[in-house]
Amino acid sequence: MTTRVIYPGTFDPITNGHLDIIKRSAVMFDEIIIAVAASPSKKTLFTLEERVQLIEVTIKDLTNVTVQGFSGLLVDFAQQQQANLLVRGLRTTVDFEYEFGLTNMYRKLMPNLESVFLTPSEEYAFLSSTIVREVALHGGSVKEFVPLAVHSALAKKL
């Protein structure tokens, strides 16, 4: 039996914290699908296509990890992918409260969808895409916080 899991997010942009969760998940599960949300309600820096491409470049050496963009409900995407397990990262108690609410909603919409929560490695516990974007927008260096492809893309975009 293959364990197919989804690691969903906006990933605007993917950070080394996300990559930490992806690599650790790739060891625990047979197949990881990184589900990049279109998130039309968010004003993203990168388009959906750019975010998918940046992740593909970043995870190219992980043979059991794929990337797909999606729009709509995550539960619908999970059903289409025949996955019933989500991997989510938790940094703070604020993340926990938010994820707790989402998990309960997912259970109402898709009762067999479970969530597994991973905490980031200590060096990435503070890191978020929002922080990376803010630092980069104000001219700060984010080189140590993002994969090389993302660093280059940020430099071109900004």
pLDDT in tens, 46-99: 999 999 999 999 999 999 999 999 999 999 999 999 999 999 999 988 889 999
pLDDT at 2: 74
Q: Are residues 158 and 134 in contact, defined by beta-carbon separation less than 8 angstroms?
A: no
Whether 18 is a known active-site residue: answer: yes
pLDDT band at 9 (very low <50, low <70, confident <90, very high): very high
Average pLDDT on 3-32 reads 97
pTM: 0.95
Report the pLDDT averaged over residues 113-137: 95
pLDDT at 1 (0 to 100) = 64
Q: Write down the catalytic residue from 91, 115, 128, 151.
A: 91
Catalytic: 42?
Answer: yes
pLDDT, greater one: 1 or 137: 137
Q: Which of 25, 51, 88, 129 is catalytic?
A: 129
Annotated catalytic residue within 4, 18, 51, 133: 18
> Residue 148 pLDDT > 90, yes or no?
yes
